[in-house]
């Protein structure tokens, strides 16, 4: 493959095949983990706006989709970081990691995250340590929606550049914090190092939402 060839096109048959195979493997793995295809309510809605109901993470999209969009933003920035400047020279990836394979890598990471997130160990940890009291894992359609959001984030970052992407990421974190008392940062903190005060504050949001 020539350098010119490496930089041409954001998709190729080979990379598209890898993406589809990755998503198919994710679906199979999630079914093995016991996840359902679609919300048990049976409503055909593709979007559910409330995070404090049993519909959350069971339809195609919900407010948490924004977090997965952010994954795509951050993956783009990470790949830009390891392929340019001094870091790019160290990794030697500068001209050998075209956009289409970065996209495959992003989808692989997103799908691996979905499978890990829906493993019995992580689900149990979410239920005991975080605000997700009734969390039973995502539905398969929600995981597919999450991967699509990650891809959308990836291409958004590609279009607007790293600087605007980081600003957009921070804006999404703040909006999520204000609206659903949860975001990617809190998600990671609560999974790795749960803090009781944050859990209390998030649970209060839960009660306020139910009281409405």
Contacting Zn ion (CB under 5 A), which of 23, 33, 55, 172?
A: 55
What's the min distance (Å) between Cβ of 179 and Zn ion?
20
Taking 3-state DSSP, the helix, strand and coil percentages for the chain, each rounded to the nearest 5, stand at 70, 0, 30
Nearer to Zn ion, 39 or 66 (CB): 39
Nearer to Zn ion, 52 or 76 (CB): 52
How many angstroms separate the CA atoms of 88 and 145, rounded? 32
Asked whether position 41 contacts Zn ion by CB under 5 A, the answer is: yes
What's the min distance (Å) between Cβ of 181 and Zn ion?
21
Q: Which of 6, 166, 141 is CA-nearest to residue 62? A: 141
Locate all alpha helices (DSSP H) within the chain, ordered by sequence: 3-6, 13-32, 65-83, 85-91, 99-117, 120-129, 140-180, 184-192, 196-211
Largest distance between two CA atoms of the chain: 62
What's the min distance (Å) between Cβ of 144 and Zn ion?
16
Nearer to Zn ion, 44 or 211 (CB): 44
What's the min distance (Å) between Cβ of 49 and Zn ion?
12
Asked whether position 46 contacts Zn ion by CB under 5 A, the answer is: no
The residue with tokens 């493959």 is 1
Stretch that binds Zn ion, among 36-44, 61-69, 89-97, 112-120 (CB under 5 A): 36-44
The terminus-to-terminus CA distance of the chain in angstroms comes to 60
CA atoms within 13 A on the CB side of 52: 16
What's the min distance (Å) between Cβ of 44 and Zn ion?
9
Helix (H, G, I), strand (E, B) or coil at 47: strand
Nearer to Zn ion, 56 or 80 (CB): 56
What's the min distance (Å) between Cβ of 47 and Zn ion?
11
Asked whether position 60 contacts Zn ion by CB under 5 A, the answer is: no
Q: To 5 degrees, how large is the angle CA 124–CA 146–CA 118?
A: 20
Nearer to Zn ion, 142 or 165 (CB): 142
Contacting Zn ion (CB under 5 A), which of 19, 29, 30, 39?
A: 39
Q: Which residues bind Zn ion (CB under 5 A)?
A: 39, 41, 55
């Amino acid at each position: 493959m020539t350098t010119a060839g490496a930089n041409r096109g954001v998709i190729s048959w080979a990379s598209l095949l890898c993406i589809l195979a990755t998503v198919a493997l994710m679906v199979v793995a999630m079914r093995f983990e016991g996840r359902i295809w679609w919300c048990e309510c049976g409503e055909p809605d593709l979007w559910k706006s409330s995070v404090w109901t049993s519909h959350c993470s069971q339809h195609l999209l919900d407010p948490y989709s924004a977090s997965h969009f952010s994954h795509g933003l951050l993956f783009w920035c990470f790949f830009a970081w390891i392929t340019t400047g001094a870091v790019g020279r160290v990794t030697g990836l500068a001209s050998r990691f075209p956009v289409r394979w970065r996209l495959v890598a992003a989808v692989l990471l997103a799908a691996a995250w979905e499978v890990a997130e829906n493993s019995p160990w992580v689900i149990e940890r979410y239920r005991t340590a975080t605000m997700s009291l009734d969390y039973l894992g995502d539905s398969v359609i929600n995981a597919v929606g999450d991967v699509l959001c990650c891809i959308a984030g990836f291409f958004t970052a590609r279009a607007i550049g790293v600087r605007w992407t980081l600003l957009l990421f921070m804006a999404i974190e703040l909006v999520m914090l204000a609206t659903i008392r949860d975001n990617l940062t809190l998600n990671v903190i609560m999974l790795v190092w749960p803090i009781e005060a944050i859990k209390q504050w998030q649970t209060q949001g839960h009660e306020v939402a139910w009281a409405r």
